[in-house]
């Protein structure tokens, strides 16, 4: 039941019984999740709950101790699967190559896989950088950019891949509200245009409830709840309610 | 210290299987070659002239005392070719280039750049290791030849101008050219090539397995240099033994 036009649509992601320990300490305690093709799936949870580790397993950077991640029913650990589907990840830290310029970073995928002639690559790179609100930085090196700019370059680099599955690790942290909205719009546009499947890790409640089709809450390596945004909001679990409703309430005593 | 032997052999094997992609990576190979040349030529020149000189200085008076000064050119010539140039150049390159390779790849590992490459389906072995290994195994043998020639000049200068030796240029180089054969040069080249592979594999391997933050990078660099040099010196003995069968 593999797609007739794998290039035209997003892919389904199945995570089954995923467990992972580092140095004897279990970080993921058996995660089960399914992300439907073309869905925007937001993953929220406190710091250190295992969100980044989970993303690394989804794209095949880490090998699980138990359980499996599959793309369209095929295991991600196989190189053939990683070759067949186009996937991209926006790292929490950006993870740009420091020895390359912004333009080289963004164009790297096309250059290394020889997918386009050089002039075309220049055009695509400019287009994707425009999309994330950056221009005139092509020749700069990553260490000359601010944290938010690096993040946006990293998003542009992921967009160049024209992915069927895109993983965002905190896409809007470090961004000002205006750019954050642009990025959120871009995530939605990408879904509409090519039906890409998006898995978004975020602390940003506005982002999650603004764009996600479904939301999962993860705490200490366990999924507490996954469902439509409205159901997450109504969920009575006190942990979830506290996480969703935390506010700054600072009382200054006089 | 040698617990990584297996891993290094696996790395070498994987990179060798990628060899057909070398031409595609030629840009990066050239870049690396340029860096190696830039970082080591001057130093190689200075080292070699002094090594050739000190050998002449050590052996010269002893031979002169016994009336055997006509052998000087041959002895200096051969020892540069077969032993000193390859080993000293390998030590120099381990210090200057091996350390840089481990540091660069190590920091890419620590800052998730290698993860990013993998998510783009770019194989770090072909993107990072292959060009470095290719460049170093071209550069080190060339550097050995360069070092041999400069070492001979250093030896000759000492033989001519040192008051306890005092033989002529002609005497030095006529004995040298009678003694040193092409096979001896090839001997040095071969050693240089093997040492280059060792430095490249050890350094890239250390870089790729870097863990932790900046301190991890520092540890990898130290290990890359120390392990390379130890391996080179041990292997040098066995290579010499092996090459004696072809003498
Ligand atoms: N390579 C690793 N080695 C050891 N422990 C790790 C490793 N990677 C992650 N961990 C541990 O796994 C846990 C989850 O880490 P993770 O980075 O997934 O958190 P997170 O949910 O992304 O948090 P944040 O929102 O702060 O980014 C942490 O306790 C962390 O210490
Ligand atoms: Mg994280």
- pLDDT tens digits for range B173-194: 998 899 988 989 999 999 999 9
Q: Model's pTM, two decimal places?
A: 0.89
- A interface residues, B as partner, C-beta within 8 Å: 56, 59-61, 82-83, 87-89, 91, 93, 95-99, 108-109, 112-113, 157, 161
Whether A69 maps to a domain, the answer reads yes
B246 in any annotated domain: no
The alpha carbon of residue B103 is apart from the nearest alpha carbon of chain A, in Å, by 13
Q: Over B176-210, what HEC string results?
A: HHHHCCHHHHHHHHHHHHHHHHHHHHHHHHHHHCC
**Residue B1: band (very low, low, confident or very high) from pLDDT cuts 50, 70, 90:** low
Average pLDDT over chain A reads 90
Q: Which residue is closest to B110 within chain A, CA to CA?
A: A95
Judge whether residue A3 has pLDDT over 60.
Answer: no
Residue-level pLDDT at B2: 60
Q: Which ligand is nearest to the CA of A46?
A: 1
Task: Dump pLDDT digits (tens) for B207-232.
Answer: 999 998 889 999 999 999 999 999 99
Q: Do A96 and B127 touch (CB under 8 A)?
A: no
Cβ partners under 8 Å of residue B71, min gap 6: B63, B175
Please give the structure tokens belonging to residue B245: 């069968």
> Which residues of chain B are within 8 Å of residue A97 when distances are taken between CB atoms?
108, 113, 116-117
Number of separate domains in chain A? 1
- Residue A17 lies inside a defined structural domain of this protein: yes
pLDDT over threshold 90, residue A62: yes
- CB atoms < 10 A from the CB of B9, how many? 12
Q: Is residue A42 part of a domain?
A: yes
- Structural domain that includes position B172: 2-241
- Give the closest residue to B174 by CA, choosing from B247, B69, B83: B69
- Percentage of chain A surpassing pLDDT 90? 66
Q: What DSSP string runs through B78-141? A: HHIIIIIHHHHHHHHHIIIIIHHHHHHHHHHHHTTHHHHHHHTT--HIIIIIHHHHHHHHHHHH
pLDDT (tens digit per residue) in A185-233:
888 988 887 789 999 999 889 999 999 999 999 999 999 999 999 999 9
Atom number, ligand 1, closest to the C-alpha of residue A56: 18
- In this structure, what token pair is assigned to residue A16? 């089954």
Considering only alpha carbons, which residue of chain A is nearest residue B24? A112
Residue nearest to atom 24 of ligand 1 (CA): A47
Range of the domain at A35: 1-86+165-172+192-254
Please report the pLDDT score of residue A1 as a whole number. Answer: 38
Q: Whose CA is nearest to atom 3 of ligand 1?
A: A22
Q: Rounded mean pLDDT of A124-147?
A: 91
**Would you say residue A79 lies in a domain?**
yes
Distances (CA, A) of A113 to A78, A108, A116, B17, B129: 19, 8, 9, 18, 17
pLDDT, one tens digit per residue, over B107-165 is: 999 999 999 999 999 999 999 999 999 999 999 999 999 999 999 999 999 999 988 88
Q: How far is A199 from chain B (nearest CA, A)?
A: 15
Phi-psi label, residue A129: left if phi above 0, alpha if psi -120 to 50, beta otherwise = alpha
- Residue B67 domain flag: yes
What's the whole-number mean pLDDT along residues B45-55?
95
Using an 8 Å Cβ cutoff, are B190 and B168 in contact?
no
Any idea what the CATH number is for the domain that residue A43 is in? 3.40.50.300
For chain A, what percentages of helix, strand and coil (3-state, to nearest 5) are there?
35, 25, 40
Residue A28 placed within a domain: yes
pLDDT for res B55: 93
Please give the order of strands across the beta sheet that includes A165-169: A87-90, A165-169, A197-201, A40-44, A214-219, A222-227
In a domain, A197, yes or no: yes
Q: Please compute the mean of the pLDDT values over residues A110-133 and round it to a whole number.
A: 92
A159 part of a folded domain? no
B247 domain-assigned: no
Ligand number, closest to the Cα atom of A204:
1
User: What CA–CA distance (Å, rounded) separates B221 from B98?
Assistant: 8
- Average pLDDT of span A176-181: 87
Edge-to-edge strands, sheet with A74-75: A25-35, A13-22, A66-71, A74-75
Overall domain count for chain B: 1
Pick the residue whose CA is nearest to atom 6 on ligand 1: A22
């Amino acid at each position: 039941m593999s797609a007739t036009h794998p290039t035209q649509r997003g892919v389904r992601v199945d995570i089954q019984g995923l467990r992972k320990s580092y140095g004897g300490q279990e970080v993921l305690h058996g995660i089960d999740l399914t992300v439907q093709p073309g869905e925007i799936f937001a993953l929220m949870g406190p710091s250190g709950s295992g969100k980044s580790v989970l993303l690394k397993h989804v794209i095949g950077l880490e090998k699980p101790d138990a359980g499996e991640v599959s793309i369209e029913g095929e295991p991600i650990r196989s190189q053939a699967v990683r070759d067949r589907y186009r996937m991209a990840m926006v790292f929490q830290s950006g993870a740009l190559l420091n020895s390359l310029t912004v333009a080289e970073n963004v164009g790297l995928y096309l250059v290394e896989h020889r997918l386009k002639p050089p002039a075309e690559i220049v055009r695509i790179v400019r287009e994707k950088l425009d999309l994330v609100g950056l221009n005139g930085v092509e020749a700069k090196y990553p260490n000359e950019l601010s944290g938010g700019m690096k993040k946006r370059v990293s998003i542009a680099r992921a967009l160049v891949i024209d992915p069927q599955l895109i993983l965002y690790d905190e896409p809007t942290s470090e961004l000002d509200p205006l750019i954050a909205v642009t990025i959120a719009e871009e995530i939605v546009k990408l879904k509409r245009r090519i039906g890409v499947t998006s898995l978004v890790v975020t602390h940003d409640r506005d982002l999650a409830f603004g764009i996600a089709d479904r939301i999962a809450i993860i705490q200490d390596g366990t999924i507490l709840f996954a469902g439509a945004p409205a159901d997450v909001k109504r969920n009575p679990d006190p942990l979830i309610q506290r996480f969703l409703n935390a506010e700054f309430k600072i009382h200054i005593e006089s | 210290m040698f617990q990584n032997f297996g891993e290094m052999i696996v790395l070498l094997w994987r990179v060798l299987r990628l060899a057909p992609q070398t031409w595609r990576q030629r840009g990066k190979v050239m870049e690396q070659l340029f860096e190696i040349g830039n970082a080591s030529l001057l130093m190689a020149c200075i080292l070699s002239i002094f090594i050739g000189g000190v050998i002449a200085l050590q052996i010269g008076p002893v031979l002169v005392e016994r009336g055997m000064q006509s052998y000087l050119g041959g002895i200096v010539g051969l020892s540069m070719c077969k032993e000193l140039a390859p080993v000293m150049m390998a030590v120099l390159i381990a210090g200057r280039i091996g350390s840089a390779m481990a540091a660069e790849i190590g920091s890419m590992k620590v800052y998730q750049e290698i993860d990013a490459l993998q998510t783009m389906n770019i194989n770090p072995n072909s993107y990072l290791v292959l060009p470095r290994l290719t460049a170093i195994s071209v550069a080190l043998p060339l550097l050995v030849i360069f070092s041999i020639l400069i070492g001979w000049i250093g030896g000759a200068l000492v033989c001519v101008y040192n008051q306890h030796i005092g033989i002529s240029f002609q005497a030095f180089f006529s004995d040298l050219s009678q003694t040193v054969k092409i096979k001896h040069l090839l001997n040095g080249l071969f050693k240089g090539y093997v040492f280059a592979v060792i430095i490249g594999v050890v350094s890239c391997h250390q870089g790729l397995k870097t863990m932790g933050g900046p301190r991890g990078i520092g540890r990898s660099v130290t290990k890359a240099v120390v392990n390379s040099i130890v391996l080179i010196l041990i292997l040098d003995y066995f290579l010499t033994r092996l090459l004696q069968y072809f003498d």
